Amino acid sequence: MSRIMNFNPGPAALPVVALERARDELLDFEGSGMSVMENSHRSKVYEAVHDRALSLLRELMAIPEDYDVVFLQGGASMQFALVPMSFLPPGGSADHIAMGAWSEKAHSEAAVWANAVGARARVAASTREGGYTRVVRPEEVKLDDGAAYVHYASNETIHGVQYRQLPTFGRASQVCDMSSDILSRKFDVAPFSLIYAGAQKNIGPSGVTIVIARHDFIEQGRKDLPKILQYRTHVEANSLLNTPPTFGIYLVRNVLDWLQSSGGVDAIEKQNGMKAAELYAVIDAHREFYRCPVELESRSVMNAVFRLPTEALDKLFVDEAKKASMVGLKGHRVIGGIRVSLYNAVEPTWVSTLCTFMKDFVNRHG
Amino acid sequence: MSRIMNFNPGPAALPVVALERARDELLDFEGSGMSVMENSHRSKVYEAVHDRALSLLRELMAIPEDYDVVFLQGGASMQFALVPMSFLPPGGSADHIAMGAWSEKAHSEAAVWANAVGARARVAASTREGGYTRVVRPEEVKLDDGAAYVHYASNETIHGVQYRQLPTFGRASQVCDMSSDILSRKFDVAPFSLIYAGAQKNIGPSGVTIVIARHDFIEQGRKDLPKILQYRTHVEANSLLNTPPTFGIYLVRNVLDWLQSSGGVDAIEKQNGMKAAELYAVIDAHREFYRCPVELESRSVMNAVFRLPTEALDKLFVDEAKKASMVGLKGHRVIGGIRVSLYNAVEPTWVSTLCTFMKDFVNRHG
């Protein structure tokens, strides 16, 4: 078996120990005589995994006691709908900060719901005109004083833009999509009313979504929706309202165990910073060749995007990298170019190998 | 490794070959150097799996050309909400047939949505008074001529009640929850407008939902909902509107490959019939001891429920069976007693072993 250097944007590389553990016990989980995914979600065997995943999340992120943590399905995209359904009342408004493809999508979905119930989903600020090459600065945001909440994304995977320090916008409830940088760095949960994240970047496989929300915010949610669409019912049922994606949550548990034993969020933040610094140093040393459109202070530690002088060179770069066992480097079709995703499970040696390749590539083709 | 005889009601036993295949390639899928769950959902490697799973479903179930097939998330419980959201218009009504816990839940969730939009979710017939011990007969149903659709469940896992022949109710569109018996027998898809099923009984792990619907019915769905909540957008995107639960779908592919190589639905239907016949024969031979409350013609081939003369004997039965490596036999907390789930992956030899155990148990304790 030969493992490859995987820079995929998500679904992304997972820690090999988390996968080996899954492999070794796939047909017989902890002596139960069956796979973890064949166990009942109401069994003691599974519930221990479920509760361990939840408590590891609380511990690793230092989530305050008055916050609920739940596992849902449907990815961040489902949250784009569920957040306004619960928290944007008829006649109300929500403020959206748009700084890339994902925060734009969150806004469009909210706008559809707002339209259906006679509410408004406003764009309080957008960097669309500049092509999403920097974060939105708090001072340029035009907030609605009566907004039910402000929604933003901490990191934009397609445009490679990230808040290096997490801002808050005004005094409304803060809702944040952290799909692509949750658990990559330390931050204070307390300013947020609700945080959500699809698992498939830093947490586990696709098919699991994590929601972290202040309990009193959850309680404000609309009550006349089907139960499956309300956050409170999932909280009350400890994420066992209906059958959860048990194997996905089990893998989340494995990934979080790995993260904890690797030194937790502090250690991974340091490592992520070093990986990104090494890569951006090569980009900056050859800025005429590796052209990063993102402003310096908005560059993402998770997804570095750049273009080569021609599309033909972009393609050659991806092809040659693949021959050298590095994959997942092609930029998103929306913007083209190259994208290097540097999530937690991307090993520092892979980044060093990529940097060496990049220096060699510019020497040969620059 | 010692595998157990697993009669779990869902998540349930999976074919061992489907799991072995997953184990063997968990760290390196088809030479990609990574797990299938680390591959991009837009990669050729993953898309081949995705498309194969969809085409196997079409082939095994003989799904007509004018039907769409999609993979969603959230289980049958999410469909309880999405069906009325798309197909129950303001001012309209839907007819629900209630014959157990799951069809009741489908009705309650529909009723919440109906109430919110000024529509009605009617109970057109229910066997609640009799304790859900038989199917609803078409002649006792009071249909609304103008109903947008009729909803029923083909099998009730908790109450052990199943339509041995699938009925249609009136002339409205037929919507059916087949979570617990899809792929267990041959049936004609054509009378149905929409069929849905959570995967975790006969198809794969929890976290994947299958929806099969006539294309023109999908097109009638409400258009002013967030895209993630509309069936049509998932159809248009070939179930890749957002990141699907890739590993779950991969396992579905493995299970369907197994089913096909085992002779398909015809062969499994025959085998399922023999398993159920053997079990019910033991129950009937000791009807004073193994008391099945379900009327003869409504007995489920997938979930056999019965009670012993006392709760203490129920408990002893479960405990002794466990010592003999048979698990998952405890009845649902709502009705107690014993439940034997006989899904596709439950091997005939397990059922024979259980039957021998049951005869011995009645000799010792009857």
pLDDT in tens, B100-152: 999 999 999 999 999 999 999 999 999 999 999 999 998 899 999 999 999 99
**A269 touches A164 (CB < 8 A):** no
Q: Which long-range contacts (CB under 8 A, 24 or more apart) does A196-201 make?
A: A196/A76, A196/A79, A196/A83, A197/A76, A198/A10, A198/A75, A198/A76, A198/A77, A198/B243, A199/A248, A199/A252, A200/A10, A200/A11, A200/A12, A200/A75, A200/B243, A201/A9, A201/A10, A201/A12, A201/A157, A201/A302, A201/A341, A201/A343
Q: Is the pLDDT of residue A1 over 60?
A: no
The single residue of B102, B113, B258, B350 carrying the catalytic annotation is B102
Q: Is the pLDDT of residue B1 over 80?
A: no
Mean pLDDT of chain A: 97
- A339 shares a domain with A243: no
Whether B187 and chain A come into contact, CB under 8 Å, resolves to: no
Give the closest of B108, B113, B207 to A207, CB-based.
B207
What is the tens place of the pLDDT at every residue in A183-217? 999 999 999 999 999 999 999 999 999 999 999 99
Cβ separation A14–B246 shorter than 8 A: no
Q: Is the pLDDT of residue B268 over 80?
A: yes
Whether B74 and chain A come into contact, CB under 8 Å, resolves to: yes
The pLDDT of residue A88: 98
Tokens standing for residue B302: 């997938």
The pLDDT of residue A219: 98
The pLDDT of residue B314: 98
Q: Summarize the confidence of residues B335-357 as an average pLDDT.
A: 98
Whether A270 and chain B come into contact, CB under 8 Å, resolves to: no
Q: Which residues pair with B72 in a beta bridge?
A: B209
The pLDDT of residue B296: 97
The pLDDT of residue B101: 97
Q: Of the candidates B236, B261, B286, which is a domain's last residue?
A: B261
Cβ separation A200–B19 shorter than 8 A: no
Q: Is residue A10 part of a domain?
A: no
The single residue of B177, B181, B330, B350 carrying the catalytic annotation is B177
Q: Is the pLDDT of residue A51 over 80?
A: yes
**pLDDT interval class at A3 (50, 70, 90):** confident
Q: Is the pLDDT of residue B270 over 80?
A: yes
CATH number, domain with residue B283: 3.90.1150.10
In the numeric block, the tokens 């493809």 are attached to: A101
Number of structural domains (chain B) is 2
Q: Is residue B4 part of a domain?
A: no
Give the closest of B33, B74, B109 to A4, CB-based.
B33
The single residue of B95, B181, B201, B275 carrying the catalytic annotation is B201
- B222 shares a domain with B285: no
Tokens standing for residue A161: 């833009």
The pLDDT of residue A250: 98
**B53 touches B252 (CB < 8 A):** yes
- A101 shares a domain with A217: yes
Residue numbers in A near B234 (CB within 8 A): none
B223 part of the active site: no
Q: Is the pLDDT of residue A242 over 90?
A: yes
Residue numbers in B near A6 (CB within 8 A): 33-34, 38
Q: Of the candidates B214, B243, B261, which is a domain's last residue?
A: B261
**pLDDT interval class at A306 (50, 70, 90):** very high
- Short-list A341, A271, A355, CA closest to A304: A341
Whether A160 and chain B come into contact, CB under 8 Å, resolves to: no
- B300 shares a domain with B287: yes
Cα separation, A47 vs A50, whole angstroms: 5
Contacts of B5 (CB under 8 A, 6+ apart): B325, B326, B327, B347, B350, B353, B354
Q: Is residue B2 part of a domain?
A: no
B102 part of the active site: yes
In the numeric block, the tokens 């021609």 are attached to: A310
Query: How many H-runs (helices) and E-runs (strands) does chain A carry?
Result: 10, 13
Residue numbers in A near B250 (CB within 8 A): none
Cβ separation A3–B207 shorter than 8 A: no
The pLDDT of residue A201: 97
- A290 shares a domain with A256: no
Q: Summarize the confidence of residues B35-58 as an average pLDDT.
A: 97
- B226 shares a domain with B113: yes
Mean pLDDT of chain B: 97
**B324 touches B258 (CB < 8 A):** no
Quote the domain boundaries for residue B73. 17-261
Cβ neighbourhood burial of A151 (10 Å; 0-12, 13-18, 19+): buried
- A150 shares a domain with A70: yes
Name the helix (H) or strand (E) containing A194. strand A194-198
| Phi then psi dihedrals of residue A197, to 5 deg | -160, 125
- A177 shares a domain with A142: yes
DSSP codes joined into one string, B72-100: ESSHHHHHHHHHHHHH--TT-EEEEEE-S
Whether A237 and chain B come into contact, CB under 8 Å, resolves to: no
**A331 touches A339 (CB < 8 A):** yes
Residue numbers in A near B23 (CB within 8 A): 23, 26-27
The pLDDT of residue A211: 98
**pLDDT interval class at B50 (50, 70, 90):** very high
DSSP H helices, chain B, are 16-24, 44-61, 75-87, 101-117, 215-220, 231-236, 246-261, 264-285, 311-323, 348-365
Q: Summarize the confidence of residues A168-187 as an average pLDDT.
A: 97
Q: Summarize the confidence of residues A152-162 as an average pLDDT.
A: 98
Please, which residues 84-123 of chain B have a Cβ atom closer than 8 Å to chain A?
Answer: 84, 108-110, 112-113, 115-116
Cα separation, A212 vs A234, whole angstroms: 12
Contacts of A315 (CB under 8 A, 6+ apart): none
Q: How far is B241 from chain A (nearest CA, A)?
A: 9
- B320 shares a domain with B255: no
Please, which residues 13-72 of chain B have a Cβ atom closer than 8 Å to chain A?
Answer: 13-14, 16, 19-20, 22-23, 26-28, 32-35, 37-41
Please report the number of interchain residue pairs, chain A to chain B, with beta-carbon separation below 8 angstroms: 218
Residue numbers in B near A10 (CB within 8 A): 40, 243
CATH number, domain with residue A130: 3.40.640.10
Q: Summarize the confidence of residues B316-338 as an average pLDDT.
A: 96
**A245 touches A46 (CB < 8 A):** no
**B298 touches B135 (CB < 8 A):** yes
Q: Is residue A339 part of a domain?
A: yes
Nearest CA in chain A to B78: A228
The SS3 call for residue B40 is coil
Q: Which residues pair with A71 in a beta bridge?
A: A210
Whether B227 and chain A come into contact, CB under 8 Å, resolves to: yes
Cβ neighbourhood burial of A118 (10 Å; 0-12, 13-18, 19+): exposed
Residue numbers in A near B84 (CB within 8 A): 226
The pLDDT of residue B169: 96
CA A304 to centroid of chain Cα atoms:
15
Q: Summarize the confidence of residues A297-325 as an average pLDDT.
A: 98
- Short-list A54, A70, A86, CA closest to A217: A86
Q: Summarize the confidence of residues B272-288 as an average pLDDT.
A: 98
- A341 shares a domain with A196: no
Nearest CA in chain A to B112: A226
Q: Summarize the confidence of residues A266-273 as an average pLDDT.
A: 98
- A213 shares a domain with A150: yes
The pLDDT of residue A22: 98
- A162 shares a domain with A251: yes
Q: How far is A176 from chain B (nearest CA, A)?
A: 19
What is the tens place of the pLDDT at every residue in B170-185? 999 999 999 999 999 9
Q: Is residue A199 part of a domain?
A: yes
The pLDDT of residue A235: 98
Q: Is the pLDDT of residue A353 over 70?
A: yes
The pLDDT of residue A162: 98
Q: Of the candidates B227, B245, B261, which is a domain's last residue?
A: B261
The pLDDT of residue B3: 84
Contacts of A314 (CB under 8 A, 6+ apart): A307, A308, A331, A336, A337, A338
| Phi then psi dihedrals of residue B209, to 5 deg | -125, 140
Q: Is residue B143 part of a domain?
A: yes
The pLDDT of residue A296: 97
Q: Summarize the confidence of residues A238-249 as an average pLDDT.
A: 98
SS3 content of chain A, % helix, strand, coil (to 5): 40, 15, 45
The pLDDT of residue A366: 86
Q: Which of B209, B247, B332 to mutate to test the interface with A (most CBs of A within 10 A)?
A: B247
Nearest CA in chain A to B30: A1
Tokens standing for residue A45: 């065997």
**pLDDT interval class at A2 (50, 70, 90):** confident
What is the tens place of the pLDDT at every residue in A99-111? 999 999 999 999 9
Q: Is residue B50 part of a domain?
A: yes
Give the closest of B27, B41, B228 to A19, CB-based.
B27
Cβ separation A37–B226 shorter than 8 A: no
The single residue of A68, A181, A201, A275 carrying the catalytic annotation is A201
> What are the distances in angstroms from CA B260 to CA B53, B61, B131, B181, B267?
11, 11, 38, 17, 9
Q: Is residue A129 part of a domain?
A: yes
What is the tens place of the pLDDT at every residue in A66-99? 999 999 999 999 999 999 999 999 999 999 999 9
Q: Summarize the confidence of residues B285-313 as an average pLDDT.
A: 98
Complex-level ipTM beyond the 0.90 threshold: yes
The SS3 call for residue B145 is coil
**pLDDT interval class at B16 (50, 70, 90):** very high
**A231 touches A86 (CB < 8 A):** yes
The amino acid that residue A326 corresponds to is M
Cα separation, A365 vs A241, whole angstroms: 57
Question: Angle of helix A246-261 relative to helix B246-261, nearest 10 degrees?
Answer: 130
